[in-house]
Amino acid sequence: MKLFEYEAKHILSQKGVKIPRSVLIAPGDDPLAKMEEAGLKPPVVVKAQVLVAGRGKAGGIKMAKTEEDVKNIVNELFNKPIKGIVPKLLLIEEAIPHETELYAAIVLDRSERKPVILASKYGGMDIEEISREKPESIVRQHVDPFIGLKGYQARLIGKKIGLSGKALASFAKFLTALYEAFTEYDAELAESNPLALVGDEVIPLDARMIVDDNSLYRHPEIAKERLEESGEYTEWEIKARKMGLGFVELDGEIGIIGNGAGLTMTTMDLVYEFGGKPANFLDIGGGASAELVKKAVSFLIEYPKAKKIFINIFGGITRGDEVAKGIVKALEELGDVSKPIVIRLAGTKAEEGKKILEEAGIAAFTDPIEAVKKVIEM
Amino acid sequence: MKLFEYEAKHILSQKGVKIPRSVLIAPGDDPLAKMEEAGLKPPVVVKAQVLVAGRGKAGGIKMAKTEEDVKNIVNELFNKPIKGIVPKLLLIEEAIPHETELYAAIVLDRSERKPVILASKYGGMDIEEISREKPESIVRQHVDPFIGLKGYQARLIGKKIGLSGKALASFAKFLTALYEAFTEYDAELAESNPLALVGDEVIPLDARMIVDDNSLYRHPEIAKERLEESGEYTEWEIKARKMGLGFVELDGEIGIIGNGAGLTMTTMDLVYEFGGKPANFLDIGGGASAELVKKAVSFLIEYPKAKKIFINIFGGITRGDEVAKGIVKALEELGDVSKPIVIRLAGTKAEEGKKILEEAGIAAFTDPIEAVKKVIEM
Amino acid sequence: MAVLLDENARVIVQGITGREGSFHTKLMLEYGTKIVAGVTPGKGGQTVHGVPVYDTMEEAVKEHPEANTSIIFVPARFAPDAVYEAVDAGMKLVVVITEHIPVHETLKFVNYAKQKGTVIIGPNCPGIISPGKAKVGIMPGATFKPGPVGIISRSGTLTYEIGYALSKEGIGQSTVIGIGGDPIIGLSFTEAMEYFEKDPETKALVLVGEIGGDMEERAAKMIEEGKFTKPVVAFIAGRTAPPGKRMGHAGAIIMMGTGTYKGKVEALEKAGVKVAKTPFEIPELIKEVI
Amino acid sequence: MAVLLDENARVIVQGITGREGSFHTKLMLEYGTKIVAGVTPGKGGQTVHGVPVYDTMEEAVKEHPEANTSIIFVPARFAPDAVYEAVDAGMKLVVVITEHIPVHETLKFVNYAKQKGTVIIGPNCPGIISPGKAKVGIMPGATFKPGPVGIISRSGTLTYEIGYALSKEGIGQSTVIGIGGDPIIGLSFTEAMEYFEKDPETKALVLVGEIGGDMEERAAKMIEEGKFTKPVVAFIAGRTAPPGKRMGHAGAIIMMGTGTYKGKVEALEKAGVKVAKTPFEIPELIKEVI
């Protein structure tokens, strides 16, 4: 789950990082009064707290030079969707004059199975741009997860991106705090970009963190889904997530249910291959119960983009009989369903499943190619 | 540094351990009013908060069955020294009926260089007694310092001391908390004895922690020396510690200064060997400055048990010239010193040191045996 | 022969008394896997499908010193502890079926196991099967037949699909490994390939990849460098998946411009690997190379 | 020959610009130790007694790839980091002079170094000297002479005392190791003894112990089991120290009834070791055994 900028900065601040002085504004707040309470005066930066990528380029970050500016910008940002998302909070921060913008991030290196620090002296652009334009500027340092980031490693990274003296010490301290935040919050990503160099001190002008979804139970203080605010999900995706379904909206007309991400993606690929277009990705995962299958089928029946439904199940930990029971129940409960449904069932308890479907008058295929051809021609 | 029982219990409680309900009483407090605030009623246990070993046997722990008892016992304990120490605080705790007393501790195993858990089903007696009387009952489990105590290890230990079911789960949870306290507070020892088994739950009736002195700077919340309260130190030892001197009071008449614990102990051994008795152990450590040497010499001149002083220095990181300067300064500042002083100087800058001593009219030996014989016959 | 798992495996099931643990113990026993013990804390003394249950791995190994392999069905919060227990009990192979384990926990136990010389398969994986010899996993056993083709797969269900397609065409498998879909896993493509390279019974290999990560690219590099010399056929799921969207729990996601379908296919084809467009083309491609 | 340190040592001094670091760099150079570089963060580019200073071990090793040994004079709060840096830079031997390092930090870096195959001497130790070859420590070099006797000591100053007594009697030393007085240290008596056992130049060994801990007892056991076969003479400091009192920072303390003078002497004598009553008897006892 992505954290908001103000949350990530708050975490860093608790780890001893100096962050810009700031105040959080909700709709209806008097921004100037709030600023005065926080000891803030223009020039300030007003930043929409949304989780969409490219927030700055989409107009979500504005400089306000006067109090008049502040009022206008706050009013504008609360009423302007950023990539479709209207912010619920704005962060007003002191403007910090600086010349140098650095980049620092920690991610998980899947091959090395270790956290890796990425840093560059060319901050401000995103890491893809840096990789393209200044690939040699990116410094990489793996971290032993049992030892943590050693002080000497943090200094070495700082040195390699061209820092020295007190600026180097400040950067090393920042990296240490960023690493602590990364591990303490079970992060998949912790990033500051730009990380401003102000005199001898580094100050994060932006901060991003993504917390591992599987670890959210350990972080009750942040563990509320912010699906609506995130801008990552469409209306139907949000609905599905709230129901506990792994659903991704696509642009075609064939609704797809599969078990396992690999098979479900392959089912999409197959539909394309034979001339159809998937309306979605819906993975019921491993070992789905009849109840979950029922939910998934009912969901796709309601989902308007799906004109027909293709269910492709190869049972392992998922049992064909459970799947069949779920489908039958969904159709029973919804009564008159006009969408055509094609089912392919193989693997564990597939025969039992087919029997259940047959008894309910539903035909099922064993061969997926036959099944996909069928659903496309329907 | 030893923590008080109430401090150790507070730490465990913050780690989620259920501890007896209690209240802390200072002299002048109304114990019954304080108990009422804390929701406590007799029977309670009143415990002197002193750091001496064998507090219970010395009469520092009393059961109060009535309010009258409470008043009398509080009054008694605030006025009765426990092994020479008058408590500054008393802990009044609910009396917890229980049948079984367990033992659990974590210490550092020097040979394995790992923390080791010690547990026994025979708590209540101290570990030396358990080792003597029920050695086979002691379960040992080493812990990988990078991984920490694994859940399965905690359960295994509990199982081996005879627990099962919910009691086992409660014990394992307790050990996990004790280990967290041990590492978070840089402890050399974390112990609960007795650890009561009350129904299906373990509750620490006593708790001890010793924090590594070298780590105190990382624990400002507990990092105040409690020399007076500890009962570990005599008046002169406290005075020395406050001056930063590594001094131990002994019963003889020859004051001893050495550099390095090994040489200083050996100097004591030598004095004994040739028929004298050391009045103290005073190690000026490695690389002592003239200032520190001056302090040490002045201290022994004032220390009444030392009738003569024997200074035994073999320079390595300690320099003979610095030592000589310190001695000369001490004698100059104190003026008329009647205590005989014998000096043995060898190693780094010994010749330079001797020259300084000579110039000040003080003779120094190279051979320690000659020196020790000299000091004894003086 | 086979890789990592054969008829000499003596298996302990951790979490044997749970719903999935018990169900798959039965299926593994029916397949012929030698399950010598089960472990569930607090349930020692019971039996599950005739398998004795112990409270701890220590007790299980003491009674069954021949045990060398474990499979973990323990819920996510307790699974890391179960892995440490298995590694410390001296298991040579540990298969972690459990999904939803916090990634920082996996990071640690995977590194720990490596230090101790234990091979971890998973987490969030279907396990491993050497058809006709043993199955330590949750895949439908009847789908696979003994034979000369190895399979390494990032995707569970897709593995069954491909095994089934091969078996139907009379092409059996030496060993099939579902390595798991989490961002951090114990055994990677290239590490698994080292085992298959040394296995004389394996004549060809099927790699079943997914978008996201760079394991397929690393496999391609290994082949190009001549460190894997047997014929390889591949399938990559997610050709039509939109970038930036997370497809399922598994974390098949294209991020930072890496891990695309196109990049993976190009890398593999450059290394001489035939890449199938659908899983059902794989048997034909395999026939061409063996 | 000698153990752990000889004329092939190429040394980096970590914390070279500090008071002690600089002072002892001079003394080590005067002794003939080949110091190739120094490291102090932020002081790169300087020289100390002609030795070039770098900001990091990485740079030092890049410029001086022959470096294989480091000695640490860094203050306690930063010393653990310096140890990791030395180990990661590939040093084979790291001597930690620094005292007052938090014991839980030492616990970790000592285990880490062991995993990586680096030998740590210390912390809170005087270092190591192979007389006539090299000195990596703070002991007065002139005190020691080349010869056939190894010394392993828990006590700094006492080591000089004993080396001096031996040298005066014409008995030189192969290698002298002050292993340090902290509760947790890198190299123990028995581990050091393994090196001396294999060193043909060492004909006899002096063990200088202290009350507290059980290292002397373990040494006795090793001798009794025939795993150390050369003649051994021992001295244990603290015969007259009262129990339960901590003697100096070093932690020579008798706790829980173990680590007493009597227990150590009995264990050693049972193993056939002659135990000297004063350090000055050691030369005579050594003469009897070689």
Helix/strand/coil (H/E/C) assignment for every residue in chain C: CCCCCCCCCCEEEECCCCHHHHHHHHHHHHHCCCEEEEECCCCCCCEECCEEEECCHHHHHHHCCCCCEEEECCCCCCHHHHHHHHHHCCCCEEEECCCCCCHHHHHHHHHHHHHHCCEEECCCCCEEEECCCEEEECCCHHHCCEEEEEEEECCHHHHHHHHHHHHHCCCCEEEEEECCCCCCCCCCHHHHHHHHHHCCCCCEEEEEEECCCCHHHHHHHHHHCCCCCCCEEEEEECCCCCCCCCECCCCECCECCECCHHHHHHHHHHCCCEEECCHHHHHHHHHHHC
How many inter-chain contacts (A to C, CB under 8 Å) are there? 180
Complex confidence, ipTM: 0.88
CB proximity D188 to A under 8 Å: no
Q: Are the beta carbons of D84 and A150 separated by less than 8 Å?
A: yes
Give D219-229 pLDDT, tens digit per residue: 999 999 999 99
For B205-223, what is the mean pLDDT?
90
| Identified catalytic residue from A7, A93, A103, A229 | A103
Q: Which CATH number fits domain D139-289: 3.40.50.261, 3.30.930.10, 1.10.274.10, 3.40.50.720?
A: 3.40.50.261
B160 has a chain C CB within 8 A of its CB: no
Substitution target in B114, B143, B144, B146 with the highest count of A β-carbons within 10 Å is: B146
**Furthest-apart CA pair in chain C: how many Å?**
57
Query: Which is the CATH superfamily of the domain at B233-377?
Result: Succinyl-CoA synthetase domains (3.40.50.261)
Q: Which residue of B has its CA nearest to C109?
A: B147
Mean pLDDT of chain A: 92
Which residues, in sequence order, are bridge partners of residue C237?
A: C210
Q: Looking at the complex, does the CB of residue B162 fall below 8 Å from at least one CB of chain C?
A: no
Q: How far is CA A31 from CA A46, A75, A85, A94, in A?
A: 10, 10, 21, 13
Question: Distance from A13 to chain B by nearest Cα, in Å?
Answer: 20
Q: What ranges do the domains of chain D cover?
A: 11-121, 139-289
The mean pLDDT value for A62-69 works out to 96
The CATH class of C11-121 is alpha beta
Output the CA–CA distances (angstroms, integers) from residue D218 to B112, D152, D202, D222, D223, in the order listed.
12, 14, 21, 6, 9
Is D140 an interface residue toward B (CB < 8 Å)?
yes
Chain A neighbors of B146, CB-CB under 8 A? 146-147
In chain A, residues under CATH classification 3.40.50.261 are 233-377
- Give the C-alpha separation, A267 to C238, whole Å: 9
The answer to whether B292 touches B284, Cβ cutoff 8 Å, is yes
Cα B259 from Cα B238, distance rounded (Å): 20
A225 band by pLDDT with thresholds 50, 70 and 90: low
Report the pLDDT value the prediction gives residue A239, as an integer from 0 to 100. Answer: 93
User: Which residue is closest to B151 within chain C, CA to CA?
Assistant: C81
Query: Facing residues of B223 across strands?
Result: none
CA–CA separation, C138 vs C130, rounded Å? 13
Question: Does the CB of C78 have a partner CB in chain B at under 8 Å?
Answer: yes
Rounded CA gap, D133 and D126, in Å? 17
Ranking A15-24, B356-365, C27-36, D39-48 by mean pLDDT, the lowest is B356-365
Alpha carbon D123 to its chain centroid, in Å, reads: 9
Average pLDDT over residues C248-255: 47
Smallest Cβ–Cβ distance between D84 and the set A147, A155, A168 belongs to A147
Distance CA B249, CA B255 (A): 10
* Subunit contact D249:B315, Cβ cutoff 8 A: no
pLDDT of D248 above 70: no
> With 80 as the cut, is the pLDDT of residue D255 above it?
no
Return the residue matching tokens 């120490």: B85
The beta-carbon neighbor of C210 closest among A218, A265, A285 is: A265
DSSP 8-state class, residue B342:
E
Contact D84 A156 (CB under 8 A): no
Here the tokens at position B1 are 């540094």
The alpha carbon of B333 is separated from its chain's Cα centroid by a whole number of angstroms, namely 34
Tens-place pLDDT, residues C147-182 = 999 999 998 889 999 999 999 999 999 999 999 988
* pLDDT given at position C258: 65
Beta bridge partners of B192: B104
- The residue among A141, A152, A173 with the most chain D CBs within 10 A of its CB, best to mutate, is A152
Q: How far is A222 from chain B (nearest CA, A)?
A: 21
CATH 3.30.470.20 fits B100-223, yes or no: yes
All chains having 3 or more CB pairs closer than 8 angstroms to chain A? B, C, D
Whether residues D41 and A165 touch (CB distance < 8 A) is answered with: no
**pLDDT score recorded for residue C250:** 41
Chain C contacts of B156, Cβ < 8 Å?
56, 58
Token pair in block for residue C166:
């091969």
Q: Catalytic: which of D49, D64, D100, D249?
A: D249
Determine how β-strand D146-153 pairs with β-strand D204-210.
parallel
Measure CA A273 to chain center: 29
Residue A14 has pLDDT above 90, yes or no: yes
Distance from CA of B156 to the nearest CA of C (A): 7
**CB neighbours (10 Å) of residue D231?**
19
Domain D11-121 and domain D139-289 have a common topology: yes
Whether pLDDT at A263 is above 60: yes
pLDDT tens-digit series, residues D1-37: 799 999 999 999 999 999 999 999 999 999 999 999 9
Residue D254: pLDDT over 60: no
Chain A interface disruption, residue of D12, D39, D56, D107, most A CBs within 10 A: D56
Please state the rounded mean pLDDT for residues A357-361. 88
Q: What residue ranges of chain B are covered by domains with CATH 3.30.1490.20?
A: 21-95
Q: Does B250 touch chain D (CB under 8 A)?
A: yes
Q: Which of B147, B155, B159 sits opposite C84 (nearest CB)?
A: B147
Spatial separation of the C-alpha atoms in residues C29 and C51, rounded to whole Å: 10
The residues of chain B that CATH labels 3.30.470.20 are: 100-223
Token representation of residue B132: 């003597």
Q: Which candidate, D196, D192, D187, places its Cα nearest to that of D149?
A: D196
CA distances from A305 to A14, A249, A252, A278, B320 (A): 46, 9, 7, 9, 91
How confident is the model at residue B75, as a pLDDT? 96
State how far the Cα of A161 lies from the Cα of A174, in Å rounded to an integer.
14
pLDDT-above-70 percentage for chain D: 94
**A348 at interface of C, judged by CB pairs closer than 8 A:** yes
Is the peptide bond between D102 and the residue preceding it cis, with omega within 30 degrees of 0?
A: no
Rounded to a whole number, what is the distance in Å from the CA of C41 to chain B's nearest CA? 8
Rounded to the nearest 5 degrees, what angle is found at the Cα of A138, between the Cα atoms of A133 and A143?
155
Q: Which CATH class is domain A21-95?
A: alpha beta
